[in-house]
Amino acid sequence: MKRRKARECALQMLFQLDISTEKPSAAMLKRFWSEHELEEDLKAFSEEIVKGVYKHREKINLKIQESARNWSLDRMAAVDRNVMRIAAYEILFRLDIPTSVSINEAIEIAKRFGTDDSGAFVNGILDSLARTAGKLDADRGEGAGREANPVKGPAQ
């Protein structure tokens, strides 16, 4: 549950970045944390997500778009789009986080912050993304086929 709060903070920051022309910066992070309380290790996790999503946004957006049949990123609700970006970042670039955890967390956060349909929408797209990326293939095992040069973060 603690990491969920960090993911929720990351969602809020990514939402702000999505609707503005701002980039992740020390000033933006300082402003955000002046209004939100979180333990230091969770702040670091949240910031790592934001910076990682921003750094890999082109690849993440492409993978989401490929998995979202008949939906463009622009047509998706900003909350859903950014929840999926967080999970896609974790699925593609974080060896230490099981794919199932990333997807389940995204579903729960989407249900909390999105519409009544957000949980199912996010689940469908992330499941497709994970399968396409070889992350849910039972024969290969959980987490098989991760991207080269992944970010290594703290243990789950």
pTM of the model: 0.85
Residues 36-50 pLDDT 10s: 999 999 999 999 999
**Mean pLDDT across the stretch 23-30?**
91
Question: Would you say residue 9 has pLDDT above 60?
Answer: yes
Residues 54-104 pLDDT 10s: 999 999 999 999 999 889 999 999 999 999 999 999 999 998 999 999 999
Residues 71-83 pLDDT 10s: 999 999 999 999 9
| DSSP per-residue string spanning the chain | -HHHHHHHHHHHHHHHHHTSS----HHHHHHHHTS----HHHHHHHHHHHHHHHHTHHHHHHHHHHHSTT--GGGS-HHHHHHHHHHHHHHHHBTTS-HHHHHHHHHHHHHHHS-TTHHHHHHHHHHHHHHHTTSS-TTT-TTTTPPSS-B--S--
Delimit the domains of the chain by residue range: 2-132
- CATH number for the domain whose boundaries are 2-132: 1.10.940.10
pLDDT > 90 fraction of the chain, expressed in percent and rounded: 77
